[in-house]
Amino acid sequence: MAIFEGSGVAIVTPFFENGEVDYESFRKLIEFQIENGTDCIIVCGTTGESSTLTHEEHLECIRFCTEVVNKRIPVVAGTGSNCTETAVYLSQEAEKYGVDGLLLVTPYYNKATQKGLIKHFTTVANSVKVPIILYNVPSRTGCNILPETAVELARNVENIVGIKEASGNIGQIAHLAQLADGCIDIYSGNDDQVVPILSLGGKGVISVIANIAPKKTHDLVRKYLDGDVKGSLELQLASLPLCDALFCEVNPIPVKKAVELMGFCGGTLRMPLTEMEEAHALRLEQAMKDYGVL
Catalytic residues: 135, 164
Positive or negative: CA dihedral 271, 208, 248, 185: positive
Write out the DSSP string of 72-132. Answer: SS-EEEE---SSHHHHHHHHHHHHHTT-SEEEEEPPPSS---HHHHHHHHHHHHHT--S-E
Q: How many CB atoms lie within 10 A of CB 139?
A: 9
Q: How far is CA 261 from the centre of its chain?
A: 21
